[in-house]
Each structure stands twice: as structure tokens, then as C-alpha cells.
Amino acid sequence: MPLEFETEIVGPVTLTIDKDKDVDIEGRKLRFSMNQPIGKVHLKVLMDSGAAVVDDDIAFNGEPAGTKLEVTWPKASGNVLRIDLRVYSVGGAYNGVELTPWRIDIPHEEVNFATGKWDVQAGEAPKLEASLKLIQEAISKFSSLADIKLYVVGHTDSVGASASNRTLSFNRARSIGAWFRSRGVRIPVFVDGAGEDALLVKTPDETDEPKNRRAEYIISIDEPGAGRWQRL
């Protein structure tokens, strides 16, 4: 006896999130889309206090494939450490993503270098000592929650050739990072030099602006920005 039945071929579930546009930490919301109608999602948001501010299913109504949808979470103390999102199609297939947007910017007094040089002078060491104390405090507090890393990026003003400024800023960042390593920082340390590509104060070319001669000390899980990071 011939048999007749209907089948539906469902391809792999594709979840789409633009990390630059769809992840709004300040607004406490995340936007996403999927290539199949969505039935529900499971959202877990973990704070750096160790508490999960939400860990629950959120129902949807079979919104069409490609629809941009949004989930939110309540305000809580601390910073968002990790976002786990699992999205289910109406047929039960699923895909997920883990996002780790957490970072801490270490406040500091800028180290002054001699013109064209990158050696840390003895008189500048107290500035780095103060920063080291904050870095070690953050490591002690958060290293048990995630694999955190220290990123040091150097910047210059717009005086001089762009390529030379990138090299100079990289060498200065490497000197600072190496100083921290030599004083006991045991988490991975990465360095980069942005040169004059990310001016804090926008100026014309060949402008001597002290505020643009700076560095950033960042503790985070993921690489902060699209840098050319090198590990020390």
C-alpha cells in the first residue's frame, strides 16, 4: 500500500547580532534576528557581582524570519559580565550566543616620556605604582569570575608622520605593559599603538595637543575594539 505524508525540511538556525549596534549595555537591551520564525528565547545576564539579574524564558509569537527583536533586563548593581542568549524557532530548533561585554577602564595619571622616547623614567614610576594598585585590586576582585586580561593602548597627538606615531605609541604602550608585568601582574597583558588614529581632542594635522598624548589601561574579557594587539 503506497504511503503519503508531508515533510518539512528545516535548515540550520542562524542567529544574527551586530555587536556594535545591537548590544546596548547602558540601555539594558539586546537586539537580534533569526532565519526562522521565533518561538521563544532564554536569556541569562550575569553581573560582575556574581548575581544573575535574569535567567528565564521569554515567549515570542512566531515572528517572521529576519524580524529584528529585542530583549531587556532590569537594572542591577555592578556591570554586566556575560550575556547568554539561546533562541528557539517555533519548531524547536535553536542557536545561541555568549557575549562578554564587561570591561573596566583604570583611571590614571599619564606617564610623560622624553620626546621620541619610550623608556619609563624613574620620576614617572609613582604614577604607574598608583595604577598598579588599582589593577591588582580589580584582578583580586574579578579574576575568579572570568578569564580577564589587561590591555594597554598608546596614543599620540597629530605632530609627525602617522606611521611613526603608531610605532612610537606602540613602543610606549609596550614599556608600560612590561612595567606592570615586572611588578607582578599575572593576567595576560596585551599592547597596541593607535598613534594619532583615535584623537581624544579632534585637531588638524601637526597640532601639539597634550591631551592626545595618552594611554588607556583596560581590563576586560574580550579585545576592546579592533586593535592590533600583541601579547607580552
- Class of residue 76 by CB neighbours under 10 A (exposed 0-12, middle 13-18, buried 19+): middle
Residue 183, phi-psi category: left (phi > 0), alpha (psi -120 to 50), beta (remainder): alpha
Chain centroid to Cα 174, Å, comes to: 20
pLDDT for 6 = 47
pLDDT for 209 = 85
Residue 226, phi-psi category: left (phi > 0), alpha (psi -120 to 50), beta (remainder): beta
- Lowest-confidence segment of 5-9, 14-18, 150-154, 182-186 by average pLDDT: 5-9
pLDDT for 157 = 87
DSSP letters for 92-153: S-EEEEEE---EEEPP-PPPP--TT--PPPGGGHHHHHHHHHHHHHHHHHHTTTS--EEEEE
Condensed to tens digits (0 to 9), the pLDDT of residues 179-215 reads: 999 999 999 999 999 888 888 889 999 888 888 889 9
Taking the alpha carbons at both ends of the chain, their separation in whole angstroms is 72
- The larger pLDDT score, comparing residue 156 to residue 136, is at 136
Q: What single letter denotes the amino acid at residue 35? A: N
Asked if 159 and 207 touch (Cβ cutoff 8 Å), the reply is yes
**What's the mean pLDDT when you consider all of the chain?**
91
Please state the length of the chain: 232
- The larger pLDDT score, comparing residue 149 to residue 201, is at 149
